Amino acid sequence: VFPVEETRGRLDPHLETLARRDLTAVAEHIASPSYLFKHITTQEVAYNLMLVSQRSELHQSVGEWLENNLDDPSPYYPLLAHHFGQAGDLKRAAQYNQMAGRQALAKYASVEAMAFFEAAIAADALRGEQSSRTLRSHCHILIGDALIDSNRVLPAERALRQGLALSSAPAPGGTFGNLLVCARLGILSWAQRRWPALFLRLAPEAERAELQFLARAHQRLTEAIYLRNWMPGVLHGGFRALNLAQRGGPSAMLTATEANIAVVMSAMGFDKAGAYYEARARAGVVAVESLSLRTYVLFALA
């Protein structure tokens, strides 16, 4: 990535001189010849002596080199996000920050995950009219995930609502709105059980992953609302998650939402509907590969 073509082949003597002057050291634990600054101040001075345009060009070159030369870039998502962010490549900075956040969230590193998601939202916001509403929606929803995992229920609910408000399946806020949408979805659920060929329609293949993601978001929102004991929101969330998961096609998420709605229906005294969804969830749980999700479903059914 050295930017001066005519001197690219003559770097070694310069690097050896820096090492003799004790400004850098050879990195012995790395197979290829590599040099490290011996002190952070030296690195910062060298870095800040460059023009911003020069630094941006180098960051872009390093980021693109990593993209093109790594068999598996996933361990380097934070590094890629850093380089493209410093290069001003906001689209790729936002994307890699989101991927780094998902990676951290999967390892239950909630604080780190939220920092990556917030950085992704900030980078995308700077793109103006070219910004991605879907990316911001996903990041807010995943921040809500991390907050629930940290037992911060009220901030989690706010983050989930903020993310869903940017999606095609927003969550109504007030009691009346929740009950109104819940009634419509409840009638639709009854019609789908009665006449599935007429009322149970799958979405196009390209839309199904997004629908399943939104189904999970509503399910997580339902968890947060349940913990503060607001039943209109619980009812709406259960029906909305089920409806989205059904449109998204057969999946582990559909099985989880069927287990949830079985609990809701039985608790309300609609035993026949509860038994219907319980039977479907028990049939589907055998195909759920995720141990945590399978446990969630069996716990709900129990």
Instruction: Write out pLDDT tens, residues 176-212.
Output: 887 788 788 888 888 888 888 777 788 899 999 999 9
Is residue 236 very low, low, confident or very high in pLDDT (cuts 50, 70, 90)?
Answer: confident
- Please tell me what DSSP assigns to residue 130: G
Please, where are the H alpha helices in 21-109? 40-49, 52-69, 77-87, 90-106
Determine the 3-state secondary structure of 270 from DSSP: coil
- State the CB neighbour count (10 A cutoff) for residue 165: 13
Whether 35 and 15 have beta carbons less than 8 Å apart is answered as: yes
Q: Which of 265, 255, 271 is nearest to 235 (CA)?
A: 265
CA dist 205 → 210, 217, 250 (Å) = 10, 20, 12
Per-residue pLDDT averaged across 52-77, rounded? 94
The pLDDT of residue 31 is above 80: no
Give me the residues paired with residue 26 across strands: 35
**pTM of the predicted structure, to 2 decimals:** 0.87
Task: Check residue 177 and give its pLDDT.
Answer: 80
DSSP-assigned letter for residue 169: S
Closest CA to 222 of 160, 284, 280: 160
Closest by Cα among 302, 192, 173 to 254: 192
Q: Over range 235-257, report the average pLDDT.
A: 92
Tell me the C-alpha distance between 156 and 228, whole Å: 12
Q: What's the average model confidence in pLDDT over 120-128?
A: 96
Give the pLDDT score at 197.
75
DSSP classification of residue 7:
G
Does the pLDDT value for residue 233 go beyond 90? no
Q: How far apart are CA 30 and CA 35, in angstroms?
A: 9
State the average pLDDT for the chain: 91
Mean pLDDT of 287-294: 91
The CA-CA-CA angle for residues 192, 194, 196, to 5°, reads 45
- What does the angle CA 40 – CA 41 – CA 44 come to, to the nearest 5 degrees? 85
103 — pLDDT class (breaks 50, 70, 90): very high
Here the tokens at position 76 are: 């380097």
Q: Report which of 125, 127, 114, 198 is spatially closest to residue 156, judged by C-alpha positions.
A: 114
Cβ-contact 148, 109 below 8 angstroms: no
269 has which bridge partners? none
Mean pLDDT check: name the lowest of 83-92, 140-149, 168-177.
168-177
Tokens standing for 81?
Answer: 């996000």
Residue 250: strand, helix, or coil: coil
Higher pLDDT, 238 or 142: 142
